[in-house]
């Protein structure tokens, strides 16, 4: 099964890399501002969020390990955790953003790479963190001012926070961060080398390309939906039916659809209230990033508890 996953992921990375190059050439002389934030939001809701819409199935599995059968316990805990993250962000936005960026870096690095790694030691965990940080650092390198503008829309009004970012840019710490991230990809690539590990560099150059040509929001949407989320969804499809992937896809689609629709409805209700105090684009950006943070933390915690329980 592991070799099958590696082959599928390699093919996915190769196709994604080709499409990134093609779209970059197409949009090179086109005004990409025509791509509205609402399009990014719809893609994230339809494709991005769906890769975590089977968490309730994993929740059932986790509850069984504690001899609990009431699924409402899982829903209540998951929702409570998500709401707590949102409240924490409102109260301490700068701290919440920093924690979110660190956790997201680790999550992206681990989820996109761990299928290639035979042994996950503490060293590998740090390599995952540094590798995944490319998703965060690349927009700061290529579109610093636009990325800062997004941060300012996320309720962050701490001038010390922005002064620190400006200092980091001036002393070229961002370039050093990119170097460390690149080095971590090299270490993960050479350790127990096999040809399918070229997936790491296909992903690396894809992230660089989309962040060079596209705005931070569009680049993140492309990465999150079409690389990270689809890869995770593929693993779920294989779990559902390893022998017949077509059947596994339809099972995944049926199981993911209810929570995906529910999440979308909930998001649009929140956006309705945000629009009363903020502009439309500002409301969309708040919903995307603060909303993703509130869903990412319980999703990662669930994945961790499942892995720990299985071990």
- Work out the pLDDT band at 137, boundaries 50, 70, 90: very high
Distance CA 177, CA 169 (A): 11
Residue 235's CB is within 10 A of a number of other CB atoms, namely 15
For residues 116 and 10, the model is more confident at 10
* 211: exposed, middle or buried (Cβ count in 10 Å: 0-12, 13-18, 19+): buried
For residues 275 and 130, the model is more confident at 130
Contact 134, 207 (CB under 8 A): yes
Q: How many Å is the maximal CA-CA distance in the chain? A: 59
Distance CA 179, CA 214 (A): 21
For residues 132 and 174, the model is more confident at 132
Q: Please, how many CA atoms are within 13 Å of residue 13, restricted to the half-sphere of its CB?
A: 21
Mean pLDDT of the chain: 85
Contact 248, 238 (CB under 8 A): yes
Contact 202, 17 (CB under 8 A): yes
State residue 133's pLDDT score.
95
Q: Which two tokens stand for residue 226?
A: 């079409």
State residue 17's pLDDT score.
94
For residues 155 and 242, the model is more confident at 242
CA separation, residue 188 to residues 3, 117, 265 (Å): 17, 8, 40
């Amino acid at each position: 099964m592991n070799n099958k996953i590696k082959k599928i992921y390699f093919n996915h990375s190769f196709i994604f890399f080709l499409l990134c190059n093609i779209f970059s050439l197409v949009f090179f002389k086109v005004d990409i501002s025509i791509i509205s934030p609402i399009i990014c939001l719809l893609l994230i809701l339809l494709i991005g969020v769906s890769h975590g819409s089977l968490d309730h199935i994993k929740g059932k599995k986790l509850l069984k390990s504690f001899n609990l059968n009431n699924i409402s316990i899982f829903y209540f805990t998951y929702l409570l955790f998500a709401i707590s993250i949102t409240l924490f962000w409102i109260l301490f936005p700068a701290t919440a953003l920093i924690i979110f960026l660190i956790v997201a870096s680790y999550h992206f690095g681990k989820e996109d790479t761990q299928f290639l790694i035979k042994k996950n030691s503490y060293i590998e965990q740090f390599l995952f963190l540094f590798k995944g940080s490319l998703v965060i650092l690349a927009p700061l390198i290529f579109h610093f001012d636009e990325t800062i503008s997004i941060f300012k829309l996320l309720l962050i009004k701490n001038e010390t926070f922005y002064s620190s970012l400006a200092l980091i840019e001036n002393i070229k710490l961002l370039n050093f961060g990119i170097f460390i991230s690149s080095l971590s990809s090299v270490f993960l690539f050479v350790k127990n080398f096999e040809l399918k590990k070229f997936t790491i560099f296909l992903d690396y150059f894809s992230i660089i390309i989309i962040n060079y040509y596209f705005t931070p929001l569009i680049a993140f949407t492309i990465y999150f939906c079409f690389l990270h989320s689809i890869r995770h969804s593929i693993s779920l499809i294989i779990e559902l039916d390893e022998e017949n992937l077509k059947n596994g896809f339809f099972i995944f689609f049926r199981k993911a659809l209810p929570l995906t629709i529910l999440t979308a409805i909930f998001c649009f209700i929140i956006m309705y209230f945000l629009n009363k105090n903020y502009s439309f684009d500002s409301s969309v950006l708040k919903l995307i990033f603060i909303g993703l943070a509130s869903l990412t933390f319980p999703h990662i915690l669930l994945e961790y508890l499942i892995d720990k329980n299985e071990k």
